[in-house]
Structure 1
Amino acid sequence: MKSLFFPHNPSFWFETLRSFGHIAYGGADFGEVVVTTERITVDDYDSWHDEWLATADRVADEGRTALAGGHRVSARDAFLRASNYYRSAEFFLHGDATDPRILHAYDASVRCFRQTAALFTPVVEPVEIPYEDTTLPGYLYRADDSGTARPTVVMFNGFDGTAEEMHFGGAAAAVERGYNVLSFDGPGQPGTRHHHGLVFRPDWENVVGPVLDHALTRPEVDPARIALLGNSMGGLLAPRAAAFDHRLAAVIALDGVYDLGDMAAGALSLDRAEAEWRLRADHDPELDAAVEAAVAASPKIRWLVDQGMYVMGAETPRGVFSTFLEYHLRDGIAQKITCPTLVCSASDDVFFEGQPELLHKHLTCPKTLLEFTGALGADAHCQAGAQRLAFARVYDWLDDVMAETT
Structure 2
Amino acid sequence: MALYSPFPNYIWNLSVAIAMESGGQIGEIVDMCQPIIDAAAGGGDAGTPAFMRQWSNYGDKLIALAAEDEAAGHGFSASNKLERASLYLLVAERMQGHGAPGRKETYAKALDAFAKSAKLGQINRERVEIPLETGTMAALYTRATGPGPHPVVVYCNGLDSCKELLYWSRLPEALARRGISTLCVDQPGSGEVLRLQDLPVDPHSENWAGKAVDWLETQPDVDPKRIGMTGISLGGHFAPRAVAYEPRFASGACWGANHNWREVQDKRLKREGENPVPHYWAHVMWAFGATDMDEFLAKSEAMNLNGHMGGVKVPFLVTHGANDRQISVDYAHDCYDQLVNSPRRELKIFTAREGGVEHVGADNMAFGRDYIADWFADTLGGRAA
TM-score by length of structure 2 reads 0.90
One-letter amino acid of the structure 1 residue matched with residue 316 of structure 2:
T
Are positions 1:49 and 2:25 aligned together? no
**Equivalent position SS for 1:132:** coil
**Equivalent position SS for 2:158:** coil
Are positions 1:38 and 2:13 aligned together? no
Matching of residues 2-401 of structure 1 within 5 Å: 2=2, 4-22=4-22, 27-40=23-36, 41-42=39-40, 43-94=46-97, 96-97=98-99, 99-121=100-122, 123-144=124-145, 148-169=148-169, 170-269=171-270, 303-330=279-306, 332-353=307-328, 354-364=330-340, 365=342, 366-401=344-379
One-letter amino acid of the structure 2 residue matched with residue 305 of structure 1:
W
- Find the aligned partners of 2:132 and 2:193 in 1 and give their Cα distance: 11
Give the Å deviation of 1:256: 1.4
Instruction: Tell me, yes or no, if the aligned pair for 1:9 and 1:299 is still in contact at 8 Å.
Output: no
The 1:237/1:73 distance shift into structure 2, 3 A limit, reads same
**Equivalent position SS for 1:325:** helix
Structure 2: stretches of 5+ with no match in the other structure? 41-45
One-letter amino acid of the structure 1 residue matched with residue 372 of structure 2:
V
- Find the aligned partners of 1:220 and 1:57 in 2 and give their Cα distance: 38
**Equivalent position SS for 2:279:** helix
**Equivalent position SS for 1:106:** helix
Instruction: Tell me, yes or no, if the aligned pair for 1:118 and 1:124 is still in contact at 8 Å.
Output: no
**Equivalent position SS for 2:285:** helix
- Find the aligned partners of 1:123 and 1:401 in 2 and give their Cα distance: 24
One-letter amino acid of the structure 2 residue matched with residue 47 of structure 1:
A
Structure 1 residues 315-348: Cα deviation after superposition (integer angstroms, max 9, x where no partner): 2245434433221112x21110111111111112
One-letter amino acid of the structure 2 residue matched with residue 84 of structure 1:
L
As a proportion of its length, which structure holds more helix? 1
Structure 1 residues 167-224: Cα deviation after superposition (integer angstroms, max 9, x where no partner): 1222222223322111111111121111111110111100111111001100111111
One-letter amino acid of the structure 2 residue matched with residue 148 of structure 1:
G
Instruction: Tell me, yes or no, if the aligned pair for 1:20 and 1:385 is still in contact at 8 Å.
Output: no
- Find the aligned partners of 2:234 and 2:209 in 1 and give their Cα distance: 15
Structure 1 residues 216-268: Cα deviation after superposition (integer angstroms, max 9, x where no partner): 10011111111111111011101111111111111111111111122122223
Give the Å deviation of 1:158: 0.9
One-letter amino acid of the structure 2 residue matched with residue 356 of structure 1:
A
Structure 1: stretches of 5+ with no match in the other structure? 270-293
- Find the aligned partners of 1:20 and 1:13 in 2 and give their Cα distance: 10
- Find the aligned partners of 2:276 and 2:9 in 1 and give their Cα distance: 8
Percent sequence identity over aligned pairs:
25
**Number of residues of Structure 1 aligned to a counterpart in Structure 2:** 372
Instruction: Tell me, yes or no, if the aligned pair for 1:127 and 1:140 is still in contact at 8 Å.
Output: yes
One-letter amino acid of the structure 2 residue matched with residue 199 of structure 1:
P
Give the Å deviation of 1:302: 5.5
**Equivalent position SS for 1:138:** strand
One-letter amino acid of the structure 2 residue matched with residue 190 of structure 1:
G
Instruction: Tell me, yes or no, if the aligned pair for 1:205 and 1:240 is still in contact at 8 Å.
Output: yes
- Find the aligned partners of 2:360 and 2:275 in 1 and give their Cα distance: 20
**Equivalent position SS for 2:94:** coil
**Equivalent position SS for 1:90:** helix
**RMSD (Å), alpha carbons:** 2.3
**Equivalent position SS for 2:102:** helix
The 1:228/1:301 distance shift into structure 2, 3 A limit, reads closer
Structure 1 residues 97-151: Cα deviation after superposition (integer angstroms, max 9, x where no partner): 3x3412111111111111122245464211111111321111111124x662111
One-letter amino acid of the structure 2 residue matched with residue 206 of structure 1:
N
- Find the aligned partners of 1:134 and 1:268 in 2 and give their Cα distance: 33
- Equivalent position of 2:43 in the other structure: none
